A = this chain, B = another copy of it.
Amino acid sequence: MPRAGLDPAQVTEAAAALVDEVGFDRLSMGLVAERLGVKTPSLYKHVAGQADLAHRIAVLAATQLGDAVRDATQGRAGGDALFAAAQAMRTYVRAHAGRYAALNSARPDGPDDPFAAAAARALGSLAAVLHGYDLDPDQETHALRMLRSMLHGFSTLEVAGGFQLDTDVDDSFTWMITFIDRGLRAATPPAH
């Protein structure tokens, strides 16, 4: 019988697709193996174990999310870039909720962990959006944390089904981004 011909990347991709469908908390070696047409122990030839697999999903997610935000903001500036970045992130999280959950439960393992680099790069994609508002350098960190908190919070609450009221969620999202855009423009240097 022929061989499956797997490698770590394929295993990671299959696992990522799985968690997007069934949720990160239901990640299991058995389901990943089944999806690849292989018996469970075979996976251990490519990944060190379930923890390692989860970590690899997180790296994949950080990379993809960072790229998505970067691509969306290409050639845009100011409020345009903010809207594009925000939409890109929300879209990514909705389409890949499992991967994103993996990303959030991952911690960098060592100083040369690829996850740290991927996460930093993703954060940089978001930070770039704020440069258009030329804020004080110290305010920039605060604004970045705020933006990140908001996008992360909104996306995860939405995916978890947390918004029950019948008001349209898309409307709330654009309202929120508009709110932030206005505030950031008002906070620009002519401070006092």
Contact = CB atoms under 8 A, between A and B. Distances in A.
A186 interface: yes
Contact of A167 (B105, B142, B186): B142
A23 to B, nearest CB: 9
Interface string A151-192: 111101100111101010101100110011011001100000
Contact of A25 (B105, B139, B163): B105
B151 A165 contact: no
Given A148-B153, A152-B156, A183-B183, 17 more contacts: A25-B105, A104-B156, A138-B167, A141-B165, A141-B172, A145-B154, A145-B157, A145-B172, A146-B179, A148-B157, A149-B149, A149-B157, A149-B176, A150-B153, A152-B157, A180-B183, A182-B186
